[in-house]
Amino acid sequence: MYNAKVRGVLIEGGKTYQDITRDVLRPLDTGKTPLWWWIASFFASAMLVWGVWGFYNTIVNGIGTWGLNNSVSWGWAIINFVWWIGIGHAGTAFSIFLLVLHQRWRTSINRAAEAMTIFAVMAAGMFPLIHMGRIWNGFFIMPYPNTRGPLWDNFNSPLFWDVVAISTYLTASFLFWYVGMMPDFATIREKTTSAIKKKVYGILSFGWLGSARGWLRFETAALLMGGLTAPLVVSVHSIVAMDFAAGVLPGWHSTIFPPFFVIGAIFSGFSMVLTLMIIVRKVYKYEDYVTKGHLDAIARILTFISLIMGVAYITEAFIAWYSDSPYEMYVFFKNRITGPYAFEFWAMISCNAIIPQLFWFKKIRKNITIVFIISIFINIGMWFERFVIVVTSLSKTWLPATWHTYHPTITEIAIYVGTLGFFFLGILLFLRLLPVMAISELKGILKETSSVKKINENESK
């Protein structure tokens, strides 16, 4: 198979197999829980508690506690839903696309990216549920034989597709993530000295042995599950895009939406991976595994996707002008580029299409602090993109008498902050309790990268 040698050394510091086991097991087995973990968990829990208040307020008092009005019927809930789903594309995009493409540099990052996917998709799923208002009737969205006459869901509706796509995405991503961890659980089972950990990780490992036939079946099953899940990246966000594109609102009713959303999702997912991995490599001292080369590779991908985003923004505006539809023209030129939502529009353009172009410079890609700041800008920019799409189109529809501006209420802010808390708490638990990097996969590439090192050394002589 095609093995790229251009990436150079993937694991630095002359590690042995034992070093890898020890380094990955350190946070969850031998090491003590560090102080920063408690502090971060405290803040994440506080955010989550505030979010629970937001949920409670919405359920008890109804959707009226949100800033929605007759024309802006979707607000922060759908913005944050799409934002989280986008971030949730990190794991699959990262781990599965790069797995299928045989990119070996994925090995130090894929596990964490997959964990992000799980928690981000769960955070996203809360918004449609809470947006129903009567959350206890949430099971109505499932097709089941019922007492309302044999009335089924509308299987032609993008909203029903969303239900199917997101629950499938969550299930498939979780199973893929879990299967990948089974060999590592077995390693923990054999290496740990604590009887409780031996028991717990032993149960989690399902009695994994690591025999030749076991590995063959494992690799085959994992590749098949990964290969099957890969198209979901495209389908999930295409379906989310169709929630908009199937509507007739100016600014939404556009065929560019599905590819535009998929690219945007991968963009925000990669940037969130970058944000988190820079922190993780620092606090866990994993600089030898998540090398500057890894961050450089992600930065290059982001530059490329940023260009696609820029082209998509220009295309949208061009088609609005070219279509000669006064409504499209109004939305794009009077309500986005200029007008009351110009700030959000230009924030989106600069964060997504302009600032990431700084990654063209090698000096900037090598400076981890700047890379970190740019990755935060992308996260913010992608949030503004969803804000621009949702609010500008809804706030000014065909009938000027119904025009309304939209401001979120404290309840909506609480719910959003709560999902952030949920996400961070999940990631923190992952960092504390599960193997952050795929031990067996790292061992699998160790020898290969050290041979690359030899080649490089010979060339420099």
Partner 1 sequence: MKANNHILGVFDDPDAATTAVEQLVKNKIAIKDVFSPFPLEHVWKKLKMKTRIPYLTFTYGALGTASVYGFLYWSSVINYPLIFGGKPTNSLSFVVVMFVLTILSGVIFTLLTYLVREKLWPGKQVNLPDPRTMDDKFVIVIEKNKNMDEALTKKIDDLLKNSGAVEVNES
Binding site for partner 1 (CB under 8 A): 16-18, 21, 143, 149-152, 154-156, 160-161, 164-165, 168, 171-172, 175-176, 179, 182-183, 186-187, 189-191, 202-204, 206-221, 224-225, 228-229, 231-232, 235, 239, 439-441, 443-444, 447
3-state DSSP call for residue 188? helix
Residue where the block lists tokens 């040698």: 5
Which of residues 217 and 407 has its CB atom nearest to partner 1 in the complex?
A: 217
Which of residues 200 and 429 has its CB atom nearest to partner 1 in the complex?
A: 200
Which of residues 32 and 213 has its CB atom nearest to partner 1 in the complex?
A: 213
Backbone angles phi, psi at 294, to 5 degrees: -65, -50
Nearest distance from C-beta of residue 374 to partner 1, angstroms: 34
Give the C-alpha separation, 120 to 177, whole Å: 14
Residue pair 335/392 in contact by the 8 Å Cβ criterion: yes
Residue pair 124/166 in contact by the 8 Å Cβ criterion: yes
Which of residues 190 and 287 has its CB atom nearest to partner 1 in the complex?
A: 190
Nearest distance from C-beta of residue 366 to partner 1, angstroms: 31
Nearest distance from C-beta of residue 194 to partner 1, angstroms: 15
Which of residues 176 and 406 has its CB atom nearest to partner 1 in the complex?
A: 176
Which of residues 133 and 231 has its CB atom nearest to partner 1 in the complex?
A: 231
User: Between the CA of residue 251 and those of 96, 256, 350, what are the distances in Å?
Assistant: 32, 11, 20
Give the C-alpha separation, 439 to 11, whole Å: 12
Nearest distance from C-beta of residue 292 to partner 1, angstroms: 25
Give the C-alpha separation, 302 to 365, whole Å: 11
Nearest distance from C-beta of residue 450 to partner 1, angstroms: 12
Residue pair 265/85 in contact by the 8 Å Cβ criterion: yes
Which of residues 274 and 439 has its CB atom nearest to partner 1 in the complex?
A: 439
Contacts of 256 (CB under 8 A, 6+ apart): 312, 315, 316, 319
Which of residues 45 and 235 has its CB atom nearest to partner 1 in the complex?
A: 235
Here the contacts of 280-283 (C-beta below 8 Å, separation 24 or greater) are 280/112, 280/431, 280/436, 283/34, 283/36
Here the contacts of 440-447 (C-beta below 8 Å, separation 24 or greater) are 440/183, 440/184, 440/187, 441/107, 441/110, 442/11, 442/20, 442/24, 442/107, 442/108, 442/289, 443/17, 443/20, 444/107, 445/10, 445/11, 445/104, 445/107, 446/11, 446/15, 446/17, 446/20
Nearest distance from C-beta of residue 93 to partner 1, angstroms: 16
Nearest distance from C-beta of residue 402 to partner 1, angstroms: 24
Which of residues 55 and 81 has its CB atom nearest to partner 1 in the complex?
A: 81
Nearest in space to 236 (alpha carbons), one of 269, 277, 274:
269
Helix orientation angle between 257-283 and 76-87, rounded to the nearest 10 degrees: 70
Which of residues 64 and 143 has its CB atom nearest to partner 1 in the complex?
A: 143
Which of residues 195 and 401 has its CB atom nearest to partner 1 in the complex?
A: 195
Give the C-alpha separation, 356 to 379, whole Å: 11
H-only helix segments in 69-157? 76-87, 89-91, 98-100, 110-131
Nearest distance from C-beta of residue 229 to partner 1, angstroms: 6
Cα torsion 248, 249, 253, 257: sign: negative
